[in-house]
Chains A and B, each alone.
Chain A
Amino acid sequence: MAIQLESKAPSGPIETRWDRHRFGMKLVNPANRRKYKIIVVGTGLAGGAGAASLGEMGYNVLSFCYQDSPRRAHSIAAQGGINAAKNYKNDGDSIHRLFYDTVKGGDFRARESNVHRLAELSVNIIDQCVAQGVPFAREYGGLLDNRSFGGAQVSRTFYARGQTGQQLLLGAYQALARQIEAGTVKSFPRTEMMDLIVVDGVARGVVTRDMVSGKIEAHLADAVVLATGGYGNVFFLSTNAIGCNATAVWRAHRKGAYFANPCFTQIHPTCIPAAGDYQSKLTLMSESLRNDGRVWVPKSAGDCTRDPAEIAEKDRDYYLERLYPSFGNLVPRDIASRRAKMVCDEGRGVGPEVDGVRRGVYLDFRDSIKRLGEAKIRERYGNLFDMYERITGENPYKVPMRIYPATHYTMGGLWVDYNLMTTIPGCFAAGEANFSDHGANRLGASALMQGLADGYFVLPYVLGNYLASAKLDKVDEGHIEVKKAVADVEERIEKLLGIGGDRSPDSFHRELGNIIWNNCGMARNAKGLEGALERIPALREEFWQNLKVTGTGESLNQTLEKAGRLADFMELGELLCRDALARDESCGCHYREEHVTEEGEAARNDADYQYVAAWEYTGDVSKPALHKEALEFEYVKPVQRSYK
């Protein structure tokens, strides 16, 4: 049954690949577009922008999200900014440089053709957003301002205060609202996709649950786009919103869509540590804090509970400055994260004990306040300091901040070809839900760019091309596959409600998250992964025997919603560990302790692992089949990173 992986990436000069590919595409006559129905699941940057653009073209679009309004998709939480190769600062930026930085940043595990297209489209995104009224930061002369972000050597990041994601999403949401008013898009908020409908091997619709009435329904269409975000919540604690889930992509995976590189997950070093075992999510603080804060822990574990102000200079270990004298506190995200874990594992962490370990390191502004004055620090980081104080109750001008890494982004996702189509014809994946552009590590300010590039500028073309070439028979609610998909969803819900056990979904989810975080988080090794691969199926079995859900399926039931999502995370979590075990090298965020350079950094193995791992569901969650898409690098020569 295995499908041959065909990337459909064009060849020839990279600068013109997308142009030539577009020219070769089939088009749908404007007068005919209304006859095609397209389902877009998700209203984040990718889905919101995609649904709006397809509506503007005249397609008949159905748009779904689980929140009460499309405006609340998790893209809203992005703070930092969005990259674009505008070169407004005349500092040597170009499409080629953004392309180069992204391929290298991804540690040579992304497809060159896709990344180049992304870099090209970055420029159009900014134009589009400005035209919609996104209030980007400006200089006094009225032109757009930029800053440098995430270690880039050029200033290419556009931003709207600390609310860039919010403003970009509101732009897409307003465009979507305009299409809803125009009647081209029909919006279904508080509606959760529960399964994909596949007829004769082709995606033809989705089964949804109305989250207020509990009604299960089939929606049929000519194509389905999944833009449902990342799966970071498999770790339970992450910087994602509470509701972020993998159900849509996982259900598609079970229906035949290959899942690519699930083990490529990114950990962000500067988050506020968990305060207790009741913690429900983690909050990210901008990395810019590392510009003026110094990271340290006590040299001796015995000092960890002392007032930090009383710990003498000679008893402090500024470990990043010690280990990386030239980059110091500004080492890349993955290195800063791993080192924090190591010192806490040694018992030198600070802050409250959660599950018996103190997981926090100091980020101390004492010296910069002394050097620059409190006013200057307030001007630079006032908002972040206020947010920190609101959450922790501590004043970071007086007491050093405590930070700890947290799961933040998932580079892996549904495998897609250059046309963003999964291995199920007619099923597309966009935004964080696909695997395509960031390889083994995503650079700062590049996810917003990818979501909008996919939504505004790629989906409109690739869908037209698909619809113009596909020969689709008519399918209605009475079709056996449709009825079966609906019945399966109903049965699954009944099953979750009927277990009648003792444990809440949250207690299972915390346990699953702990297993994955400890064995497949910042550092991984074969022994730990093998252990996790025994424990996860056992936990999954307990879940199906001992879960407790009260209430009914015919009403708003948040416990049931959690249980359904968790059931899918229980399976995805296993695949994540399996992929991490199979990838016996280190690359980007995937750090296998067995494969480390002399300096302690990730050691890639290009000879054996320069490929995308695409997993096929075989009917047994524990026995997926691995397919490999070999990666070629014609324009950016693979090199080893060094930050010493």
Chain B
Amino acid sequence: MSKTMNLTLHVWRQKGGTDVGGFETYKAQDISEHMSFLEMLDVVNERLLADGKEPIAFDSDCREGICGMCGMVINGVPHGPNAATTTCQLHMRHFNDGDEVTIEPWRASAFPVLRDLVVDRGAFDRIIQAGGYISASSGSAPEANGLPVPKADADRAMDAAACIGCGACVAACPNASAMLFVAAKAAHLGALPQGQPERWERVKKMVAQMDAEGFGHCSNHYECMAACPKEISVDFIAQLNRDLVRATVVEREHEEKSGGAG
């Protein structure tokens, strides 16, 4: 009833951060078209284990496209051939019997490889720590409906907040820039009235941290949006750039008002 296929996989294997790593070839046999890509790898891993070998390490958790844990470059494309789809939601029916499939980790100096297909995305956490929040300590909140938010603003905030922090945008960018990720968070919080008091400081701090982490600069290739499983729009990058300009003006005005910094 359901189709099965045989594939040849070329998988990046690397024992640890200091190991050079390289491709190994594996046969993936009798793969059902209804398997997810990660289930196909599970099957390959069970066979490796049975042969006394170490399974291919890869990250995944929710396996339903929301936690942002999974991610690999499949035939040169982050998260593989399907638009708006995380690796865990990609199914084998999009492949054919006899296909050769190359599988690599995210490649970016700010995301060092830990093992095989597993990378360290701690840089994303540090960008959020630098300012990707609204300061509202527990217990200090006013009544929720005391602050109406125009539906259009709330919707725009939600569009941006849909980012799952997977890092595919960085992997897709020729400069390994994190602009789409940063812009999404800045746009989410910047679209809401609650986010205004810290808006200008926030964008400056997040961008400064992004630079410090060694991500590249955005030169408007827009590969990020094509790879993004949540279809986060590059319009948010334009917004971030405008906010950055404004942030400098605000800073200058503030300095003038307070008598200047010197």
- Does the CB pair B66–A77 fall under 8 Å? yes
Complex interface: chain B residues within 8 A of A278 (CB): 32, 35, 39, 42-43
Is A390 within 8 A of B114, CB to CB?
no
Q: Which residues of B contact A86 (CB under 8 A)?
A: 144-145
A sample of 15 more A-B contacts (CB under 8 A), given A71-B165, A133-B189, is A72-B68, A76-B62, A137-B158, A163-B66, A163-B162, A177-B125, A177-B128, A177-B129, A189-B125, A242-B63, A390-B85, A390-B89, A504-B50, A555-B16, A558-B57
Chain B, residues 116-140, CB within 8 Å of chain A (1/0): the string is 0010111011001110111111111
A397 within 8 A of B: no
Known contacts A52-B138, A548-B49; decide if A130 and B144 are in contact (CB<8 Å): yes
Interface check A391, CB cutoff 8 A? yes
Interface secondary structure of B, over-half rule? loop
- Is A634 engaged at the interface, CB distance under 8 Å to the other chain? no
Q: Is the CB of A69 within 8 A of B141?
A: no
Contact, CB under 8 Å: A74 / B67 = yes
Assess the B61–A72 pair: CB atoms within 8 A: yes
Query: Which residues from chain B contact A460 at a C-beta distance below 8 Å?
Result: 138-139
User: In the complex, A140→B54 CA distance in Å?
Assistant: 56
* B49 proximity list for chain A (CB < 8 A): 504, 548, 550, 559
Whether B33 and A132, one on each chain, are in contact in the complex, defined by CB atoms closer than 8 angstroms, is no
In this complex, the interface size class of chain B, counting residues with CB under 8 Å from chain A, is 35 or more
Query: Given that A166-B66, A173-B128, A276-B35 are known contacts, is A456 also in contact with B61, CB under 8 Å in the complex?
Result: no
| Distance, CA A504 to CA B15, complexed state (A) | 21
Give which listed residue, A77, A129, A178, A275, contacts B129 with CB less than 8 A.
Answer: A178
- A307–chain B nearest beta-carbon distance, Å: 12
Judging by beta carbons under 8 Å apart, are B63 and A135 in contact?
Answer: no
Counting residue pairs across A and B whose Cβ atoms lie within 8 Å, the total is: 226
A52: chain B residues at CB < 8 Å are 138
Central interface residue in A71, A133, A139, A167, by most chain B CB within 10 Å: A133
Q: Is the CB of A142 within 8 A of B148?
A: yes
B256 beta carbon closer than 8 Å to chain A: no
Query: In chain B, what residue has the closest Cβ to A68?
Result: B121
Q: Which of B155-207 contact A (CB under 8 A)?
A: 157-158, 161-162, 164-165, 188-189, 192, 194-195
What 0/1 readout, one digit per residue, does chain A (149-186) give for beta carbons within 8 Å of chain B?
A: 00000000000110100110010011101101100000
Asked if residues B122 and A189 are in contact (CB atoms below 8 Å), the reply is: yes
Closest A residue to B58 using CB positions: A558
Interface residue A19 (Cβ < 8 Å from any Cβ of B):
no
Contact, CB under 8 Å: A551 / B154: no
Question: Which residues 231-252 of B have a CB within 8 angstroms of A?
Answer: none
> Considering residues B118, B121, B141, which has the most beta carbons from chain A within 10 angstroms of its beta carbon?
B141
For A161, the chain B residues whose CB sits under 8 A away are: 158, 162
Task: Please tell me if the beta carbons of A241 and B67 are within 8 angstroms of each other in the complex.
Answer: yes
Residues of A within 8 A of B73 (CB): none
Verify if A138 is at the interface (C-beta below 8 Å from B): yes
Q: Contacts A69-B121, A77-B64, A187-B125: A135 and B136 contacting too (C-beta < 8 A)?
A: no
Residues of chain B contacted by A72 (CB below 8 angstroms): 61-62, 67-69, 165
Residue from the list B136, B139, B158, B162 in contact with A132, Cβ < 8 A: B136
Residues of B within 8 A of A559 (CB): 49, 54-55
Check: A280 CB closer than 8 A to any chain B CB: yes
Contact in complex: A137, B154 (CB < 8 Å)? yes
With contacts A139-B151, A241-B62 known, is A144 near B135, CB below 8 A? no
Instruction: Tell me the chain A residues, 420-435 only, with Cβ under 8 Å from chain B.
Output: none
> Does B149 contact A138, Cβ atoms closer than 8 Å?
yes
| Cβ contact within 8 Å between B34 and A276 | yes
Instruction: List the B residue with the shortest CB-CB distance to A174.
Output: B133
Instruction: Report Cα–Cα, A432/B9, bound state, in Å.
Output: 40
B150 surroundings in chain A (CB, below 8 A): 138, 142
Kindly identify which residue among A141, A181, A275 contacts B130, using a CB–CB cutoff of 8 Å: A181
A478 to B227, CA, bound (A): 51
Least distance between A87 CB and chain B CB atoms (Å) = 11
Q: Is B147 an interface residue (CB 8 A)?
A: yes
Q: Which of B2, B32, B67, B151 has the most CB of A within 10 A?
A: B67
Chain A's nearest CB lies how many Å from the CB of B233? Answer: 16
B52 sits at the interface (CB 8 A): yes
Which interface residue of B39, B122, B133, B194 has the most chain A CB atoms within 10 A? Answer: B133
Contacts of A531 in B (CB 8 A): none
A173 to chain B, nearest CB (A): 7
Residue A639 is within 8 A (CB to CB) of chain B in the complex:
no
Neighbour of B136 across the interface among A128, A144, A457, CB < 8 A: A128
A390 to B78, CA, bound (A): 18
Using Cβ atoms and an 8 Å threshold, which residues of chain A touch B93? Answer: 393
B129 to chain A, nearest CB (A): 4
- Do A181 and B129 touch (CB < 8 A)? yes
B79 CB within 8 Å of chain A? no
| Chain A CB within 10 Å, residue with most, of B49, B60, B132 | B49
Q: How far is the CB of A485 from chain B (nearest CB, A)?
A: 27
Residue-wise, chain A 505-518 has the 8 Å CB interface mask toward B (1 for contact) of: 01100000000000
Tell me how far the C-beta of B12 lies from the nearest C-beta in chain A, rounded to whole angstroms. Answer: 14
Contact of A243 with B by CB under 8 A: yes
Contact of A391 among B91, B134, B148, B164 (CB under 8 A): B91
**A178, A392, A502: the one within 8 Å of B133 (CB):** A178
Task: Give every chain B residue within 8 A of A137 (Cβ-Cβ).
Answer: 154, 158
Say yes or no: is A546 at the interface (Cβ < 8 Å to chain B).
no
Which residue on B lies nearest to A142, using beta carbons? B148
Q: Tell me the complex Cα distance, A243–B66, Å.
A: 14
A281 is an interface residue with CB less than 8 A from chain B? yes
CB distance from B154 to the nearest CB of A (A): 4
Give A456's nearest chain B residue, CB to CB.
B138
In whole angstroms, what is the CA distance A280 to B60 when docked? 11
CB-based contact A504/B142 at 8 Å: no
* Chain A, Cβ-Cβ closest to B82: A390
Q: Are A77 and B89 in contact, with the CB atoms below 8 A?
A: no
Residues on A with beta carbons closer than 8 Å to the beta carbon of B15: 555
Residues of chain B within 8 A (CB-CB) of A141 are 148
CA gap between A142 and B60 in the complex, in Å: 37
- Report yes or no: B52 in contact with A127, Cβ–Cβ below 8 A: no
Near A by CB (< 8 A), chain B positions 76-107 give 85, 89, 91, 93
* Chain B residues near A506 (CB-CB < 8 A): 42, 46
B115: chain A residues at CB < 8 Å are 212, 555-556
A561 to B196, CA, bound (A): 44
Chain B residues whose CB sits within 8 angstroms of the CB of A133 once the complex forms: 133-134, 157, 188-189, 192, 194-195
Q: Within 8 Å of chain B (Cβ to Cβ): is A610?
A: no
Q: Do A76 and B132 have beta carbons less than 8 Å apart? A: no
User: What are the residues of chain B within 8 A of A126 when measuring CB–CB?
Assistant: 144
6 A-B contact pairs sorted by A residue (CB < 8 Å): A53-B139, A69-B165, A71-B125, A167-B161, A556-B115, A557-B54
- For A173, what are the chain B residues with a Cβ–Cβ distance below 8 Å? 128
Chain A CB within 10 A, most for which of B1, B64, B125, B144: B144
* Chain B residue at minimum C-beta to C-beta distance from A275: B34
B133 near A127: Cβ-Cβ < 8 Å: no
Question: Within the complex, which residue of B91, B114, B124, B139 is in contact with A69, where a contact is CB–CB below 8 Å?
Answer: B124
Smallest CB separation, A638 vs chain B (Å): 34
Please report the C-alpha to C-alpha distance between residue A124 and residue B143 in the assembled complex, in whole angstroms: 8
Rounded to whole Å, the gap between the CB of A286 and the closest CB of chain B is 13
In order of increasing CB-CB distance, the 6 nearest A-B pairs are A142-B148, A174-B133, A131-B141, A131-B136, A127-B141, A53-B138
List, in ascending order, chain A residues with CB within 8 A of B133's CB: 132-133, 174-175, 177-178
